[in-house]
Amino acid sequence: MATLSQWIAGARPRTLPAAVAPVVVGTAAAAPLDEANLGLGLLAVLVSLGLQVGVNYANDYSDGIRGTDADRVGPIRLVGQHKADPQNVKLMAFAFFGAAALVGLALVAISQTWIMIPLGALAVIAAWKYTGGDNPYGYRGLGELYVFLFFGLMATLGTLYTQAHEITALGVYGAVGVGAIASAILVANNLRDIPTDRESGKLTLAVRLGDRGTRMLYVALVVVAVVMVVLISTQQVFALIALLSLVVVARPMRGLLAGATGRDLVPVLASTGIFEIVYAVLLAAGIALSLSVG
């Protein structure tokens, strides 16, 4: 039976910034409309965290029973390393999905944004189908698209919509920015796993692009995040301070471009997660500063 520390490690805490960052940016995007609501933002964070942990356990279960996680570098695999019963891991995944759904219903009821119910249901289905089911799209190179759509666009714009009841250009720019970085986290993870994924038949985007193409994709996603800050600064000039977040990822990215492999890519993965939350917080601070000065 897995220990508590192993269950926590199986939740993959390093990926959790991808759940918090879009809510921070979505709430900040509501501020120029004078509609930012920290209470609704907190509920949105709980929903996003529930989905993130749920999908992490779901991936552990689905990859584990397929044998994909039999020989991995990186975080503990509860099923693949025989640390926990597969059915218990599956149950944990759906427990977090259920918790996210309940908090999501409360968020929708309070904000009166009923359109979010089918969108939320779609998010849960997509989370399970990522590596679960008969034809998981994560095995067909669509994982990064899933992350961009659900932990970028939907999480950010959903947060904005529940607070302001509208979508703005600033919100879209912010959603694209955090979505790009969230996708970069997965790109770094899948770059590390190219050898084992190729051997097990898991055709991730990294496997399809190859080593060099995957490294270039990572850089391109970081560039997209930078461009979005510049676009936001045309409306809120002090948003440019978000560019300071590049300090977090500069050194690990140099290692990635220098050809780091295996365990040497773990710092890249961890730093990209930190980069995303620092990017989001600085972007929100820049928007707040622009509003106060203006």
In this prediction, residue 294 carries a pLDDT of 66
Where residue 81 falls among pLDDT bands split at 50, 70, 90? confident
As a whole number, mean pLDDT of residues 196-217 equals 91
227-285 residue pLDDT tens: 999 999 999 999 999 999 999 999 989 999 999 988 888 889 889 999 999 999 999 99
For the segment 177-188, the average pLDDT, to the nearest whole number, is 95
For residue 75, the model assigns a pLDDT of 72
Q: Work out whether the CA dihedral 157, 162, 166, 168 comes out positive or negative.
A: negative
State mean pLDDT over 210-230. Answer: 97
Q: Determine which of 175-189, 216-230, 258-272 has the lowest per-residue pLDDT on average.
A: 258-272
What is the residue-averaged pLDDT of the chain? 92
Instruction: Write down the pLDDT at residue 13.
Output: 87
Q: What was the pLDDT predicted at 112? A: 96
Q: What is the pLDDT of residues 133-159, one digit of tens each?
A: 777 888 888 989 999 999 999 999 999
Is the model's pLDDT at 30 over the cut of 80?
A: yes
Asked whether the predicted pLDDT for residue 4 surpasses 80, the reply is: yes
pLDDT of residue 53: 95
Q: Is the pLDDT of residue 82 over 90?
A: no
Would you state the pLDDT for residue 22? 97
Position 18 scores a pLDDT of 85
Per-residue confidence band for 132, with pLDDT thresholds at 50, 70 and 90? confident
pLDDT at 291: 95
Is the model more confident about 266 or about 45?
45
- Segment 12-35 shows an average pLDDT of 93
**pLDDT confidence bin for 77, thresholds 50/70/90:** confident
pLDDT, average across residues 39-58 = 95
Give the per-residue pLDDT at 202.
83
Tell me phi and psi for residue 235, to 5 degrees: -105, -40
What is the DSSP code string of the chain? ---HHHHHHHT-GGGTHHHHHHHHHHHHHHGGGT---HHHHHHHHHHHHHHHHHHHHHHHHHHHHHTTTSS-SSS--TTTTTSS-HHHHHHHHHHHHHHHHHHHHHHHHHHT-TTHHHHHHHHHHHHHHTT-SSS-GGGGT-HHHHHHIIIIIIHHHHHHHHHHSS--HHHHHHHHHHHHHHHHHHHHHHHHTHHHHHHHT---HHHHHHHHHHHHHHHHHHHHHHHHHHHHHTTSGGGGGGGGGHHHHHHHHHHHHTT--GGGGHHHHHHHHHHHHHHHHHHHHHHHHHHHH-
Residue 216 neighbours by CB under 8 Å, 6+ apart: none
How far apart (Å, rounded) are the C-alpha atoms in residues 121 and 114?
A: 12
Q: Does the structure show a pLDDT above 80 at 69?
A: no
